[in-house]
Structure 1
Amino acid sequence: MRRLAAFSASFALGIYLAQYLLPAEHLLPLAAGCFAAACLALLLPGLWRKRALLIGTGLALALGWNWLYGYAVRDPLVGLSGRSGTASMTLLEYAVPTDYGAKVTVKLEGYPLGKVVYYGGEDLLDLRPGQTVTAQVKFQDAARLREDTITNFTSQGVFLLAYQRGEDAVYGEGSAGSPRWWPARAARAMQDHVAELFDGDEAAFLSAILTGDTSGLSEEARSDLSEAGLSHILAVSGMHCGFLMTLILLVTGRHRRRLLAALALPILVFYTILTGASPSVVRACIMVLFVLAAPLFQRDSDPPTTLSAALFLILLANPFAAASISLQLSFGAMAGLLWLTPRIQDLLLGEKSRGKVYRLLASSLSATVGAMVFTVPLCAVYFGSLVLISPVSNLLCLTASSAVFMLGLLAVLASFLWLPLGAVIGFLPALLTKYILWTSGVLASLPYHAVYLTNPYLKYWLVFLYGLFAAAYFLRPRARRKYAVATVLAAMSLAVTVWLGAPHYTRSGLDAYVLDVGQGESVLLSSGGQFALVDCGSRNSWYDAGGIAADHLATMGCGTLDYLILTHYDYDHVSGVTELLARTRVGTLLLPDVADDAGMRLQVELAARDHGADIRYVRAETSLPLGRSSLTIYPPGDVKGDNEQCLAILCTYGDYDLLITGDMNMAAERQLIAEYNLPDIEVLVVGHHGSKSSTSEELLEAVTPEVGIISVGDNSYGHPTEDALRRLVLADVDICRTDKQGTVHLSVN
Structure 2
Amino acid sequence: MKLLFQQRIIALLFNAERYGLKSGCFLLCLITYLARDHFSICLIVIFFCLILMVFAYSFISKKNRFFYFGLLSIMLIQIWRVLYVRYQAKAIEQYIGDTVYLELTAQNTLFQTNEEREFKIYQSKNGARLALWVEGEQRYWQKICGYFRPKVPQRVRNPGGFNQKEYLANYNCYAVLDLKDKYTSIQQVTVRMPILDRNKLLTGFQNYIGSSFDPRTVDFILSLCFGRTENLSPDLKQDFRNLGLSHLLAVSGFHFDLFLMPLLEGFNFKKRNLKIQFLLLPLILFYNWLCAYPIGLIRASLIYTFMLITKYLGLDVSRKNILLFIMQLFLLINPWLIFQVNFQLSFISSLAIYYYLPYLKKINIMQKSKFLQSMFLSFLVQIIILPFLIKNFGIWQIGVILVSGLLNFPLTFFYLTGLFSFYMFLFLKLIKNIIFLDFRLTEQLSRRIFDFLHWLLNSALQIFSRFARADFWLQLQNNNNSLLTWLILGLLILSIGLIIGSFLSNLLTEKQRLSLTFKTYLPGFILMILLLFNILRPQLNWQICFLDVGQGDCCLIISPERNCILIDGGIPGQGYRTILPALNYFGITKIDYAIISHLDSDHYGGIVDLLELRRIEKIVFPDSNCTGSIKTNYAESEKNVYIGNNNANTINKQTLCDKCDANGVKYQTVKQSDILSLEPLIDKLEILSPAPQLTRNTQNQNDYSLCFVLEIAGLNLMFTGDLSNTNEQKLISEYQFAGIDILKVAHHGSKYSTSEKFLHAVDPELAVISVGNNYYGHPAPELLERLIQYDIEIKRTDLNGAIMLELIDNQWHLATYVE
TM over 0.5: yes
RMSD: 5.7
Contact kept in structure 2, 1:139 and 1:163, CA below 8 Å:
no
State the distance in 2 between where 1:640 and 1:654 align. Answer: 38
Cα 1:663–1:482 change in 2 (3 A) is farther
Structure 1 residue aligned with 2:738? 680
Shift of 1:228: 1.2
Contact kept in structure 2, 1:660 and 1:686, CA below 8 Å:
yes
Structure 2 residue aligned with 1:212? 227
Structure 2 residue aligned with 1:397? 407
State the distance in 2 between where 1:692 and 1:266 align. Answer: 61
Q: Check if 1:103 corresponds to 2:117.
A: yes
Contact kept in structure 2, 1:143 and 1:154, CA below 8 Å:
no
Shift of 1:57: 2.4
Structure 1 residue aligned with 2:456? 431
Cα 1:725–1:434 change in 2 (3 A) is farther
Amino acid across the alignment from 1:677 = Y
Q: Check if 1:240 corresponds to 2:255.
A: yes
State the distance in 2 between where 1:460 and 1:736 align. Answer: 37
Tell me, which stretches of 5 or more residues in structure 1 are unaligned? none
Aligned length: 718
Q: Check if 1:625 corresponds to 2:650.
A: no
Structure 1 residue aligned with 2:278? 262
Alignment partner of 1:578 out of 596, 609, 617: 609
Shift of 1:368: 0.8
Cα 1:529–1:698 change in 2 (3 A) is same
Shift of 1:208: 0.4
Contact kept in structure 2, 1:237 and 1:280, CA below 8 Å:
yes
Amino acid across the alignment from 2:334 = N
Shift of 1:582: 0.9
State the distance in 1 between where 2:332 and 2:455 align. Answer: 40
Shift of 1:739: 5.6
Q: When the two structures are superposed, what TM-score results if normalisation uses the length of structure 2?
A: 0.70
- 3-state SS in 2 of match to 1:150: helix
State the distance in 2 between where 1:725 and 1:389 align. Answer: 54
- 3-state SS in 1 of match to 2:466: helix
Q: Check if 1:15 corresponds to 2:73.
A: no
Q: Check if 1:597 corresponds to 2:597.
A: no
Cα 1:701–1:196 change in 2 (3 A) is same
Structure 2 residue aligned with 1:318? 334
Amino acid across the alignment from 2:419 = L
- 3-state SS in 2 of match to 1:164: coil
Cα 1:146–1:237 change in 2 (3 A) is closer
State the distance in 1 between where 2:732 and 2:264 align. Answer: 78
Alignment partner of 1:379 out of 389, 395, 399: 389
State the distance in 2 between where 1:532 and 1:214 align. Answer: 31
C-alpha distance after superposition, 1:317-345 (max 9, x if no partner): 433332222222222221221223444x2
State the distance in 2 between where 1:640 and 1:260 align. Answer: 72
State the distance in 2 between where 1:76 and 1:404 align. Answer: 46
Alignment partner of 2:372 out of 362, 367, 384: 362
Shift of 1:16: 0.6
- 3-state SS in 1 of match to 2:554: strand
Shift of 1:238: 1.3
Q: Check if 1:451 corresponds to 2:480.
A: no
Structure 1 residue aligned with 2:592? 561
Structure 2 residue aligned with 1:327? 343
C-alpha distance after superposition, 1:626-677 (max 9, x if no partner): 2252223454799999999954331246976332345779x68964763452
Contact kept in structure 1, 2:141 and 2:191, CA below 8 Å:
yes
Cα 1:728–1:469 change in 2 (3 A) is farther
- Equivalences for residues 543-558 of structure 1 within 5 A: 544-548=577-581, 550-551=583-584, 555=588
State the distance in 1 between where 2:341 and 2:747 align. Answer: 31
Cα 1:195–1:743 change in 2 (3 A) is farther
Q: Check if 1:651 corresponds to 2:710.
A: yes
C-alpha distance after superposition, 1:389-422 (max 9, x if no partner): 1111111102322232233202221133254454
State the distance in 1 between where 2:482 and 2:766 align. Answer: 25
Contact kept in structure 1, 2:90 and 2:128, CA below 8 Å:
yes
C-alpha distance after superposition, 1:489-508 (max 9, x if no partner): 89x989x999x99x986x9x
State the distance in 2 between where 1:678 and 1:377 align. Answer: 54
Shift of 1:610: 3.6
Worse overlay, 652-661 or 58-67: 652-661
Structure 1 residue aligned with 2:557? 524
State the distance in 1 between where 2:449 and 2:559 align. Answer: 52
State the distance in 1 between where 2:516 and 2:102 align. Answer: 72
State the distance in 2 between where 1:48 and 1:463 align. Answer: 35
Cα 1:642–1:608 change in 2 (3 A) is closer
Alignment partner of 1:222 out of 228, 234, 237: 237
* Structure exhibiting the larger radius of gyration computed from Cα positions: 2
State the distance in 2 between where 1:512 and 1:332 align. Answer: 37
Q: When the two structures are superposed, what TM-score results if normalisation uses the length of structure 1?
A: 0.75
Alignment partner of 2:308 out of 280, 292, 297: 292
